[in-house]
Amino acid sequence: MDPDDFLLERTAEKVASIASVEAALTAIERQRREPDPWERFHLAQAFVMIFNGIYRAAPIDVDLAMLPPAERVTTMAIPAVFGDCTLTVLREALRAVKAEPVRPFPHVGPVRLTGADRQP
């Protein structure tokens, strides 16, 4: 595959992933509510996929987020940290992920924190 074609394909994958997240956030906003814990978890996971360049996986998490409550796995424990993923926070993550350059290849290694986040 031509390198330019490859990068165009990766760009299209990222755009599609972002569009799926944006559509889910808009659907929740139209209902004039905050996302529930299930939605927060899976939408946050979609952002992880996009930030890591695993673009094709993000819409899967979005689809899971938008499952009707009757179709969800009720025994799944959602960590409390996802309680902070309000619409405002998720919209901020959307702005951040849009600004990220397209990753030519997925990154699946460890996350390295820098600056104030670094632990001694």
Q: Over the stretch 41-86, which tens digit does the pLDDT of each residue have?
A: 999 999 999 999 999 999 999 999 999 999 998 888 888 888 899 9
Looking at residue 96, its pLDDT comes to: 92
Q: Hey, where are the domains in the chain?
A: 3-104
Structure tokens at 37: 């814990």
**Position 111 confidence tier, pLDDT thresholds 50, 70, 90:** low
**Closest to 21 in 3D by CA, of 95, 84, 101, 72:** 95
Looking at residue 34, its pLDDT comes to: 97
Residue range 11-15: mean pLDDT, rounded: 98
pLDDT tens digits for 19-40?
999 999 999 999 999 999 999 9
Which whole-number Å values give the CA distances from 37 to 31, 71, 98, 101, in the listed order?
Answer: 16, 15, 24, 29
Residue 37 region by backbone torsions, left for phi larger than 0, else alpha for psi between -120 and 50, else beta:
alpha
Question: Is the model's pLDDT at 112 over the cut of 70?
Answer: no
Looking at residue 37, its pLDDT comes to: 94
d(CA 29, CA 51): 23
Helix, strand or coil, per DSSP, at residue 84:
helix
